[in-house]
Amino acid sequence: MTPEKISEYGEALFTALREGRTLAPLTEREPDITIEDAYRISQVFLQRRIDAGERVVGKKIGVTSKPVQDMLGVFQPDFGFLTDAMECPDGANIPIAGNLIQPRAEGEIAFRLRKDLQGPGVTEADVLDATATIIPCFEIVDSRIDDWKIRIQDTVADNASCGVYVFGRKEVDPRDFDLPSLKMSIYKNGELHSEGLGSAVQGNPLTAVAWLANTLGEFGIPFKAGEVILSGSLAPLIPVVAGDEMSLEIEGIGGCSCRFV
């Protein structure tokens, strides 16, 4: 794909974000688009956000669990970037109008790093060593692509369909827990909606984070000390509308919540 096309699509995604609308799938408009093309588009999209005053504070991996892959029809992980403008406090009222387009909530385990980490060659042990704390997290994914009709190239270009995210107030040392065995319960409007284990994320959240470190390492992009890494959903995505309240609890750790208005 030409640099001009990459710039055009990155600009179009930024405009869609700002105007709260969607675009036809890039994979329909450009049948030969590659994942590397998509990543380059995402970099243009991200740079426009930075130029508008946002600051990169972390990275995310998505589409890591089978339920999410089956739901979206995307059968390999995607990756994107987090900015400070995406973060919402625990218990936040999150406006949908003018902020989100077609949001879905997913419960995750976030990793806060205490030192830099860069692939290739990153292992699960390296991730654990580089992590200061883990945090209960909601990621509110949101696609700028019509009706979530995405393939892997569409979601990578669209910053891995990231909308906003919510962290719990409690952070814990991951070395004190068996991460694959962590159990998350997710509630919608006060009723249990779904449950999941840490093992839903590629068998172990550490495996997912190592994959992301190595994947971004191929593009020369490191994890940096202080950044947060979202490791992927433990349960199927949950569509939300104004008036919905979401909460989650990770057994033995704590949780977080938010409400959509």
Structure tokens at 138: 């909601």
Assign 23 a pLDDT band (cuts: 50, 70, 90).
very high
* Whole-number pLDDT of residue 219: 86
Contact 204, 180 (CB under 8 A): yes
CA distances from 146 to 13, 22, 41, 46, 223 (A): 12, 5, 17, 20, 31
* Whole-number pLDDT of residue 250: 98
* Whole-number pLDDT of residue 98: 80
Predicted structure pTM score:
0.92
Per-residue pLDDT averaged across 27-40, rounded? 94
Contact 151, 244 (CB under 8 A): no
Mean residue pLDDT across the chain = 94
Supply the DSSP symbol for 207.
H
Q: For residue range 164-196, what is the model confidence (pLDDT) as tens digits?
A: 999 999 999 999 999 999 999 999 999 999 999
Q: What is the CATH number of the domain that holds 166?
A: 3.90.850.10
Q: For residue range 51-92, what is the model confidence (pLDDT) as tens digits?
A: 999 999 999 997 766 666 676 666 677 889 999 999 999 999
Cis, peptide link before residue 120, omega less than 30° from 0: yes
Contact 92, 164 (CB under 8 A): no
Residue % of the chain over a pLDDT of 90:
88
* Whole-number pLDDT of residue 64: 66
Per-residue pLDDT averaged across 209-228, rounded? 93
Rounded to an integer, what distance in angstroms lies between the CA atom of residue 192 and that of residue 128? 31
CB atoms within 10 A of CB 190: 8
Query: Whole domain around residue 66: which residue ranges?
Result: 3-260
Per-residue pLDDT averaged across 5-12, rounded? 98
Looking at the 3D structure of the chain, how many domains does it have? Answer: 1
Residue % of the chain over a pLDDT of 70:
95
Rounded to an integer, what distance in angstroms lies between the CA atom of residue 216 and that of residue 239? 29
Q: For residue range 91-127, what is the model confidence (pLDDT) as tens digits?
A: 999 999 888 999 999 999 999 999 999 999 999 999 9
